[in-house]
Amino acid sequence: MKNEMTISRAAFVAGAGAAACALAGCSGGLGGAGGAKTASTADAACVDDNANVTVYAAINLGGADLVRLLKHQNYEWQGENVGYGAVDDAGFFAFTFSKVSDDVDELANSAIPLSESEYEELEPGGGDENVAILLSVGGYTKGERALTGAIGDAAMVQEKCTIDDTSYWLVKALDGHRYVIMADDTEDDGDSAHDIYIYNEAFIRTGYLSGGDQIDIDELWSRLANAS
């Protein structure tokens, strides 16, 4: 299991923007911050019906609570290049960039996986730091079903679009921060995990998902919507 997970996460760091490559050649105000409610590990939305930690948990729980939840769900620390892993290839991995650049290759080369202690220090969803998260969820036969089942709380979803069999959703956390999440709509027998990529606003502004264009989340979503 560990080798499969390592490959998946190495590919994420090297090419997290691969499924969004079309954006570089693609030719809205979508709601701002708001809401004061905070999340708890006791929230039903934190875990899906297949015992996966959800998108809701990933973007609403602070690091210490998130790690506590991961361990409660039997995710174990597998090392910096893997993050936390569980049965059925379920997992949680995060990385950041050490710089901001209009050169996508330079950005990729500056990618740094988070250490175990940094997971515990994370603000919800990475807060204002440029953090990308790979949430791998088991028990689903299609990527779109994985998104639907592992979102945790459908009320967070603001917009949806599909480009070349990849589903993109715009979601808003309880603290008002917004995220673009995506999953390839691959189909299998449900024995393999499906990857859900979670990008916060600061990560989007690095330009990694838009060919080096350092755009904000509204512009990114506009390009996605126009390309769908």
CA dist list (Å): 39 to 6, 134, 152, 178, 197: 30, 20, 12, 15, 21
Q: What is the pLDDT of residue 9?
A: 52
| Calpha distance 86→109 (Å, rounded) | 28
Report the Cα–Cα distance between both ends of the chain, in Å, rounded: 35
Q: What is the pLDDT of residue 33?
A: 44
- Cβ of 109: how many Cβ atoms within 10 Å? 13
Cβ neighbours of residue 30 under 8 Å, at least 6 residues apart? 158, 159, 170, 178, 217, 218, 221
Q: What is the dihedral of CA 8, 68, 63, 218, to 10 degrees?
A: 60
| Calpha distance 210→196 (Å, rounded) | 18
- Read off the pTM: 0.86
pLDDT in tens, the chain (228 residues): 333 344 345 555 554 555 454 454 444 334 444 445 789 999 999 999 999 999 999 999 999 999 999 999 999 999 988 899 997 788 999 999 887 778 888 888 888 999 999 999 999 999 999 999 999 999 998 888 999 999 999 999 999 999 988 999 999 999 999 999 999 877 766 667 899 999 999 999 998 888 888 899 999 999 999 997
Q: What is the pLDDT of residue 195?
A: 92
